């Protein structure tokens, strides 16, 4: 593993709460002798040394007889602690100077500064957690919506570990069946057809489901890119503010107000997304505005969903999109040059959007239409940013669009790209084993299955190169 100072049992310390004014601050320590080291700077050393595990001792942190702060010290004794080692957590007042003073005192008293993720790393190497649960800790910290947090909590509770373990059991049982055939063959030829591949096909299905789950899980973790675009004064900034529920963008009747793009995180019914408000699309001699239009086109091409806003009061021939609107949509692969808004709402309207490079939802703004009258249209939504009409319908439509291509059954999903690659390797090995012709000896099948077990072991941490461990835990915060 990358040399990061990860040394088991050596007493380590870190501030576990944010360094900002707060009601409470927490300093976390772990390692052999950590309770005694804290006792050396505690007003009641004997009480702390004699404290039972999972208990709290009241007292003061002192430095050379000088009181620093009144604290509560939580004591955890190995192996019944987060890290599996002796641990101490000091709860003090949350002032920055107080927290840093206690932290500095402990560092002078024999502790080493903890590396990023070192507490969780120690929990892993001491068998208190596996890699799927360890990575879930970081996911929970980084989660942006209740839905993304809930999915990570499932992995922390062990649902992914259990799923991987079930697959491993099926593969191990298959290997055992094959070994019996090899040791006690009914004839001299021990070939694939001589064992039941039912368990292996169940393992293949489970691995396939897990591998496909990453597409959906990635959206909940990393967030989607949703771009608002359209002609000038189509209502993009108003909708941007309405979706954020705050005044972030300047709204004006003057065309070309937005020249650069704005972005902010927004929750689309549980799916986190980076929402972009962009410059209005039009021909212009202003070099700055022209650059903004160019950026709009680039952002739209890289989006997960494009919300194309159309000012309904500008609709030509009552319901036909303008040339500027249709030309831009055509650049995204949506050919609506002669289509009416009504035709886009018909059941066959999907044909207009089927070849689009990114999913597109047409949003009618400044409309007298009842927003609910278009609630059944797959690709058209009518909204009013002023009174909020249609906003909830739009959010639900965006959520469905983002998840439609990645919806899956079941609650278990992968939590990282690393896990996905390992599961795909295991799946490839299992499929290769199943594809072997009757001319192959069973020991060739066993080799594929052992390779799949190694790949699955890297997911849970049973078999994991040191450099991968370094990469995983280095992304944690200090104190976790």
pLDDT per position as a tens digit, 262-315? 888 888 888 888 898 887 766 655 666 667 667 777 788 788 888 988 887 766
- Statement: residue 367 has pLDDT above 70: no
Under DSSP, is residue 58 helix (H, G, I), strand (E, B) or coil?
strand
Report DSSP state, residue 477.
P
> What is the average pLDDT across 115-144?
87
CB 378 within 8 A of CB 363: no
Rg (CA), the chain: 30
> What is the average pLDDT across 373-401?
77
What count of residues does the chain have?
480
Task: Please tell me the pTM assigned to this model.
Answer: 0.72
Long-range contacts of 382-389 (CB under 8 A, 24+ apart): 382/312, 383/239, 383/242, 385/235, 385/238, 385/239, 385/241, 385/242, 386/238, 388/242
Biggest CA–CA distance in the chain, Å, is: 88
Q: pLDDT > 70: what percent of the chain? A: 75
User: Which residue would you say has higher pLDDT here, 260 or 135?
Assistant: 135
Count of H helices and E strands in the chain? 17, 12
Least confident of 197-211, 322-336, 416-430: 322-336
- Statement: residue 408 has pLDDT above 90: no
Region label for 235, one of left (φ > 0), alpha (ψ between -120 and 50) or beta (otherwise): left
User: Could you read off the pLDDT of 136-187 as tens digits, one per residue?
Assistant: 888 888 888 888 888 889 988 889 999 999 999 999 888 887 877 666 555 5
User: What integer pLDDT is reported at residue 239 of this predicted model?
Assistant: 87
How far apart, in whole angstroms, are the C-alpha atoms of residue 380 and residue 373?
Answer: 10
User: What integer pLDDT is reported at residue 1 of this predicted model?
Assistant: 40
């Amino acid at each position: 593993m990358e040399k990061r100072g990860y040394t088991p049992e050596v007493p380590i310390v870190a501030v576990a709460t944010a360094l900002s004014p707060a009601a409470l601050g927490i300093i976390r320590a772990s390692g052999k002798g950590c309770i005694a080291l804290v006792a050396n700077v505690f007003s009641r050393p004997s009480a702390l040394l004699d404290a039972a595990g999972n208990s709290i001792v009241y007292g003061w942190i002192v430095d050379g007889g000088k009181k620093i702060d009144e604290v509560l010290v939580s004591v955890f004794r190995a192996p019944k602690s987060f890290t599996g080692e002796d641990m101490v957590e000091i709860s003090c007042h949350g002032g920055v100077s107080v927290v840093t003073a206690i932290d500095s005192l402990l560092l002078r008293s024999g502790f080493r500064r903890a590396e990023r993720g070192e507490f969780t790393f120690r929990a892993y190497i001491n068998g208190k957690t596996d890699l799927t649960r360890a990575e879930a800790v970081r996911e929970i910290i980084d989660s942006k919506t209740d839905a993304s947090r809930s999915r990570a909590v499932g992995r922390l509770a062990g649902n992914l570990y259990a799923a991987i373990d079930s697959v491993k059991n099926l593969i191990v049982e298959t290997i055992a069946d094959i070994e019996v055939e090899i040791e006690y063959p009914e004839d001299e030829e021990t070939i694939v057809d001589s064992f039941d591949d039912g368990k292996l096909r169940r393992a293949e299905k489970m691995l396939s489901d897990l591998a496909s789950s990453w597409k959906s899980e990635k959206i909940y973790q990393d967030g989607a890119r949703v771009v608002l675009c359209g002609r000038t004064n189509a209502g993009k900034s108003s909708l941007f503010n309405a979706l954020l529920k705050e005044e972030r963008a300047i709204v004006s009747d003057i065309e070309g107000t937005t020249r650069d793009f704005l972005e902010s995180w927004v929750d689309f019914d549980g799916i986190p997304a980076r929402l972009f408000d962009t410059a209005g699309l039009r021909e212009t001699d202003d070099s700055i505005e022209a650059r903004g239009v160019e950026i709009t086109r680039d952002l739209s091409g890289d989006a997960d969903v494009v919300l194309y806003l159309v000012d309904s009061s500008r609709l030509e021939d009552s319901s036909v999109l303008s040339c500027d609107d249709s030309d831009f949509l055509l650049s995204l692969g949506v050919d609506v040059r002669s289509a009416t808004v009504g035709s886009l709402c018909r059941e066959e309207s999907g044909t207009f959007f089927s070849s689009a490079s990114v999913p597109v939802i047409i949003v009618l703004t400044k409309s007298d239409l009842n927003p609910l009258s278009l609630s059944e249209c797959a690709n058209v939504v009518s909204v009013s940013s002023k009174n909020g009409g249609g906003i909830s319908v739009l959010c639900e439509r965006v959520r469905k669009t983002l998840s439609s291509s990645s919806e899956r059954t079941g609650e278990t999903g992968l939590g990282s790209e690393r896990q996905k690659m390992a599961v795909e390797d295991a799946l490839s090995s299992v499929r290769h084993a199943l594809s072997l012709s009757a001319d192959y000896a069973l020991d060739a099948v066993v080799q594929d299955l052992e390779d799949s077990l190694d790949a699955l072991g890297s997911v849970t941490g049973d078999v994991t190169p040191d450099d991968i461990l370094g990469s995983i835990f280095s992304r944690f915060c200090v104190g976790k």
